[in-house]
Structure formats: structure tokens, C-alpha cells
Structure 1
Amino acid sequence: MGPDTRAGTRAAPDEVASFLARLTGLLLRSSGEGAVLIERTVRHTAHALGSDASVLLVPDGAALTLGTRGASRTVTLHGVPEVFRLDQVVALKPLVQDVQAGRIGVAEADRRPAAIETSRPPYPWWLKLLGIVLFTLGFAPLMQATWYEIGATAVLGTVAAVLAVTADRIPRYATVLPLVVSTAVSVITVEVFARDTSHGGPVLLMLPALFFFVPGDYLSAAAAELAAGYITTGAIRLVYSAFLLVQLYVGVLLGLFLTGTSTRAFFDIAAASDLPRWALFLSWIVFTTGTLLAFAIPFRLLPLLLLLVYVTVAVQSLATKAIGETGGTFVAAAVLAAAATRLALRPDRPPRLVLLLPGFFTLTVGSLGMRGLTTLAGGYVIEGFRDLLKLVTIVTAIAVGLVLGAVLAQPAVTSPSAEGG
């Protein structure tokens, strides 16, 4: 490379603004786990291009202000945050690294976000459908460690997966997808799988199939943003999380009304376990494989993500025995965040979000909100409020654990592209 080929030395202000707007938009749309790193990544990337940048964030929008060669401009962006195309998150990291290292000019840099935005998902629709089913099956033993739970989840998870894949093809339907899925799952559960109370409560039978739509990630991201001082972003995301949770809850209630079932059916009692230990151990392989397919994560990352899942589960189990469930969850979240943060610092590793996600799901925070709301609706007030109080406690423990783990693992001088890129 010549002595003066860094992008910022020759790039026109309009080119820099175009690229940074695209980059910020992609980061915003992939910020379902939190927007904490967006501002830092954009600011450092802009500096590499010879510009100054500041970002004012809310969960679904950003105001990007750029100062280049004495001129200032502001770009307003909108994007609904989600985590369903993590292949795009993986592709962004090397792009940010190349720009910050001066390996590519701004014209080439501007073309790559467009290619990422228009890229096809890495898996066809039927593999995503299979991924959602595997995701729900791997989660099922956490609700009830029974063969009946797994059999019911296979059917209910397939129904949920078909509806989710259909929403990908009909975008306008996606806004009511949680309501439609929870209604369908509720009707089938009540009419087919919950007739015999010996198999456990209907909510425990429903939850694995709904877990893909439960906003546990948003809840913890909101709490983490509040803990990190992003008050507006965290508060808005918290309200949005509550709305998604209530939408699922209303769908479950609609299922009861459509079948003429009393809300008293919402008892929260688990059936006796009959799964062998080997099945519980293998369920995490099924779960992690399903996560990769459902969230469009490159399959080459399976061994690394599976290792992080087993480490998180092991730490949570051991710490829970020593200091209780809340303490165990806090320690597991801190260890997961520390491991993901250190690994993400390496240029050849995926971004921190991708490393965190499968292990985070094992902490199962979102299901507590659904259990609490449905138990309250069934008239079991004490049990319902106990679940909701537990939800608040566990969400806070996870959020603080994630923040602490990241802080402890972060070196003194950080490359933002390695962190979140």
C-alpha cells in the first residue's frame, strides 16, 4: 500500500456520509441485543475516514452527525432492531476492521454494506424452519424433562416454525406474528396435549414452542443498557419488550377463549421427570444447532458456540448449587460475557453478539414473564407474582452479569470493530 491511501485522506464528504449512514443502519437493525457498541464503532470508523461522528440513539432510530473538512451534516436513520440475520453481523466485523486499518477506500467500503444488506440468508427457508423446531426441542427439557414434553414440542414447534417462515414471505403479517403463533399454540395445546393433567401444566407445554418469540433477549438488553447509562434507549426497549410479552400472553388467552377453556387451566405444575441424563446432555447440541439455523449464524461457528453453551450451563449449575439461582445466573452471565468479550477481540473470531446469543438463551429469562402472566390469569395470584418478581430479579442479574463480565474482560485499549463490529 502506498504512503497515503487511507480512506479518509481522499474521500469526498458525501462518500463518507453515505458509507457511515449505511454502516449505522446495519448496526442499528442488528442491535436486538443492545445498542451500546454502535456509537463507539461508528465514531472510530469515522475517525479512520478523516471525519468526526456522533450518534444519538434510540432502539429504532439514530441521528448521525458528521463533521468532514469543516462541513457538518446530520443523517436520520430508522431500523427495527432484531437478531434474525446474524450472518450480516458476522460480515460487518471484517468490513469495519478493513476500514479502520486503512486497507480499503471509502468507495469499496460503501459497496460492501450494500452487498451485505441485499445478501440472501445463508440457509433456505426449510432449514430455518428446521432450525426453529430444533431450537424449541432443545429448550423443552428445561421446562419439563419428560418425553411427553418433547413429543408435544415437536408438533407445537413445527406449527410455530411454519408460521414464522410464512411471516418472512409476507412481511405485513410479521407485526402480529407473536399473537398469531401464541393463539395457534394455545388452541392446539389445550385441545390435544393438555387434557391429562399428569403431563404438567399447559403453560409448560406451550412455552418451548413460544420460546423463539419470547423477548428475553430484549428484556436483558434493556436492563444492560440501563446499567450502562443508556437511559432512553434502555427504557424504550424495556417498554417494547413488555409489549411483545403481552402480545404473546393475549394470544394464549385467545386460545383459551376459542376453545371454551377456563383460565383456571393455567396451573404451573411440572410432571415427574423421565428423561435420562444423556438426553438432557444432548439437548444442548440440538438447541445450539437450531440456534445457528434459526438465526442465520454460519455453521462453521458451531463448535465454538457449543463450547460456550456448555460452559454457561455448567457454570450456572455449579454456582446455583453454591449460592442459589439468582447468584448462579449472575455468575454464568458474567463468565459468558467475559469469554465472549475476550474471544471477540481476535480478528478471526465473530462479533460478541454472535458469541453471546446461544449461551444467553440458556439462561431462559423470558419464559418467566409468560409463566407469571398466565399463572396470574389463571387466578393463582401468589404463584404468578412470584414468577414476575423472579423475572425482574433474574433480568437484573443477567444484565449486571453481562456488563461486569464485559468490563472485566475488556483490555485497556479496545478495538471497537473487534468488540461489536
Structure 2
Amino acid sequence: MESTRALSGDEGGGPPGGEVVDVLARLVGLLLASSGEGAHRIERSTRAVAAAFGCRASLVMVPEGAVMTVSKGSGRAVTVTVRAVPEVFRLDRVVALKPWLASVEGGELSVAQAGAGLRRIEEQPAPYPWWVKLIGIVLFSLGFAPLMQPTWYEIGSTAVLAALAAVLAVTADFVPRLAVLLPLLASTLVSVVTLEVFATDAAHGGPVLLMLPALFFFVPGDYLSAAAAELAAGLMTTGAIRLVYAVFLLVQLYVGVLLGVALTGSSTRRLFDVVAVADLPRWALFCGWVVFTAGTVLAFAVPLRLLPVLLGLVYLTVGVQSLVTKAAGEMAGTFVAAVVLAAAANVLGRRPALPPRLVLILPGFFTLTVGSLGMRGLTTLAGGHVIAGFTDLLKLVTVVTAIAVGLTTGAALTARRADLRAA
């Protein structure tokens, strides 16, 4: 997180204390870095902390930065520019930030104590070693695989492909330059191995359906829905920029698949979209969500103690989506599931012992499988299957909108009056 500072305003009094401004700037940096759900809640938290220290704060935001103005009484205002790259890979910091915010807003911490606590959160090591994160990414992909094709072959191929992608993802933690091209490199590697080793028989399903579970960790479904939620909340700049960034990540994955086609000397016609005959028993499909949720916890550095409540929200989301889809269609099922998930996360998030809304929503949100539709549509188009490709892309737009509006509706229905006044 980087920040710059400048003074402005009248001479009616002294500016806010440097310690207060430093705490607020670092807080904004942490909130920006964990804004995978959207940036629309950052200003509310920042204003509350500033008020606890007798100051006023206002923000002008873009997804990767913010200009914060802090004032105290009628004195000069301090303007700080904060930059932080948004991601959702260290949710342990999001969990630790919740009790810190509660203590500051409750007047339990001095500025010095608040700064020291924030520094501990920033510097705390990841809760799991690199090899546990690698296992988490593989489990995350394996749990998602039956959604693409409920076959044992899909699970077996995903185990190998996800392990390759996970090695790249973990390596990028140690080689930051690799992170810039990570989606492109991962999709190229997965594409080459899939086309050369696993997509040799049409009876096993389309190549893209074999690739997608291993690439799901890199698919920007969270950014797409966060962008839609920000646009719905009236944050045009942050929503539009995040939407462009999500599309850019999606295109990287798409180009990587095409590079794999070129490197193997294959034809794009191999990118057909045919689902194999299901051979997984129902118990395997049911248990898949346990594997998926455990993988989410390990891959995104969520404390292990939260696994039961996250698993409950996953099954709630899946159950609601399945029941409503049977009764009223897929879009209605997705919308209602998003409403229920957001409402449940809002209510549970008020309990001091439970994590904030973002952490509670994330696993259930992933079950709604947004970004994979865009990837599937682009690759299907590249394979020359125009109608099917555009059908998937149109479905992506409607599903993203349904999820974003559903999450916003669920949050609004369960919001407290104080939160509505502060919005």
C-alpha cells in the first residue's frame, strides 16, 4: 500500500494528528486490498473510525486507490492518496480487521493502540504454509468439477490439471513478477495438457469443460459481480473500471486457451461444448460441496474454525438455488439464492464471533458460478460454435446482473436503520 499526503484548507485550527491520518490511510489500504465484494462499504468504515478519533473523513475512490480527506473541527484538512491492488487471497486479514474496527468504534483503543493493532494485522503471516494453499486450490477445483461434468473422468483430470495450476499460483506468491501473467500462464499450461493428454475422446466431454475446474481459481467471477453491485450502488467509476479489469482477466484466460491450441497444433474446432454422460452417484455430488468449501478455506487463508458456518451457507445457497430453479427457472433460482445468501451473511455478520459479510458470502457466491460462463462462451465462439458461444455470453450478463441485484436486495432487506442512514 502506498500513500502520499498534502495539506489544504483554511487556517482556523491545526490539522488532524499525523497518527490519526496514518491509521486511516493504512485502514483504507487494507479495505481496498480486500474489496473483492466491491468498494461501496469502505467509506462507511473509514468515517466511523475517523469519528471515533474526533475527525471527519471523506473518500473519492477507484478500485485500486482512494483520495481521502481528513479534517478536525474547522482546522486544515489533510489529503492522502492511497493505492492498493484489490484481491481476495488473504481473507485472514479481513477476519482480523472486524474486531479491530469494533474496538476502535467502541472507544476501547487509543490512536497509538489502534495503529499498533493495525500494524499487527498487516504484518501477520499467512495462517497456512504454501503447500497447504496448494492443496486448497486443488480441493477448490475438485469441488467445482462436478458442476461442469458429473463424471469420474472429470474429477481425475481436474486433480492433475488443478495441481499444475496450483503450483503456478503458489510460485507467484514468491515471484511477484509472475503474478502479472498468472491467468495467461495457467490457462496456457492447462490448455496444452488437456488437449494433449485428457481431451482425446469426445466421450469424455468438451476440452473446455475439462479445463474450467482447474482454472476456476483464476476466473474473475467475484470482480464481475462486484462491478455490477458497484454500478447498482451508483459508484459508476469504480464499477466501470472493475468491470473492465474483470473482462481483461477473462480475456487472458481465453488467450491462454488459444495459445494452448496453437502450441499443440490443434484446430479451434476441438473447442466443442459437449457434456459427457454422468456417472457420479448422488452422494459424490453432495460431498463435493464439502471438498469445495474446505478448499476455499485453505486457498483463501480463512481460519479453519469458520469451516462449519461457511459450509452451512454453501448448502443453503445450493439448496435454495436448486429448489427455486425447478419451480421458476435458472435466473429466478440464482436471484433468490443471492438474496438469501446476502441476507443470511448480513445477519450472521453482526455476531462478534463470526467474520464480516465478505468472508461469509464468498464460498456461497462461488457456487453460483458466474465467470466460468464468460470463459466458456469465449472459447466456444473461438471454436466456431457461434450460437452456443453467444448464448453463454448472454447468460453471463443475465446471471451477473441477477447475482449483483440479489446480493444488493438481500443486504438492503436485512440492513439496520443506522446502516441505511450512514449509506
In 1, are the aligned partners of 2:16 and 2:71 still within 8 Å (CA)? no
Offset of residue 109 of structure 1: 0.3
Aligned to 2:394: 389
Which letter maps to 1:52? Answer: R
The SS at the match of 1:45 is helix
**Equivalent position to 1:123, from 100, 103, 128:** 128
Measure, in 1, the Cα distance between the counterparts of 2:270 and 2:68.
51
**Further displaced range: 184-193 or 33-42:** 33-42
Cα pair 1:31 1:83 within 8 Å, conserved: yes
Aligned partner of 2:188 among 183, 187, 192: 183
Secondary structure of the corresponding residue to residue 211 of structure 1: helix
Distance in 2 of aligned mates of 1:112 and 1:184 = 42
Cα deviation code 1:62-106 (max 9, x no counterpart): 001000241211000101100000000001111111110000101
Q: Which amino acid aligns with 2:318?
A: V
Q: Which residue of 2 aligns with 1:339?
A: 344
In 1, Cα distance between equivalents of 2:218 and 2:98:
27
Question: Is 2:47 the partner of 1:43?
Answer: yes
Matches within 5 A, 1:2-401: 13-69=17-73, 70-401=75-406
Normalising by the residue count of structure 1, what TM-score does the alignment of the two structures yield? Answer: 0.95
Describe the superposition over 1:347-388 as per-residue Cα deviations: whole angstroms up to 9, x where unpaired: 221000000000000000110000000000000000000000
In 2, distance between residues paired with 1:404 and 1:33? 15
Query: What do residues 272-304 of structure 1 show as CA deviations (whole Å, max 9, x unaligned)?
Result: 100000000000000000000000000000000
Report 1 or 2 for greater relative contact order, CA contacts < 8 Å, sequence distance ≥ 6.
1
CA shift in 2, pair 1:12/1:227, >3 Å? closer
Task: Tell me, yes or no, if the aligned pair for 2:16 and 2:77 is still in contact at 8 Å.
Answer: no
Distance across 2 between alignment mates of 1:71 and 1:44: 20
Secondary structure class of the residue paired with 2:417: coil
For 1:88 and 1:240, how far apart are their aligned partners in 2? 23
Query: Is the CA contact 2:16–2:70 (under 8 Å) kept in the aligned structure 1?
Result: no
Q: Which runs of 5+ in 1 are unaligned?
A: 1-10
Question: Structure 1's 415 and 235: CA in aligned 2 closer, same or farther, altered over 3 A?
Answer: closer
The CA distance in 1 between the partners of 2:365 and 2:409, in whole Å, is: 15
Output the amino acid matched with 1:90: V
Q: Structure 1: which 4+ aligned runs deviate by more than 6 Å?
A: none
**Identity score, percent:** 68
Aligned length: 408
CA distance in 1, matches of 2:420, 2:244: 32
TM-score computed with the length of structure 2 as normaliser = 0.95
Corresponding residue number in structure 1 for 2:4: none
| TM-aligned CA deviation for residue 413 of structure 1 | 2.0
What do residues 134-180 of structure 1 show as CA deviations (whole Å, max 9, x unaligned)?
00000000000000000000000000000100000000110000000
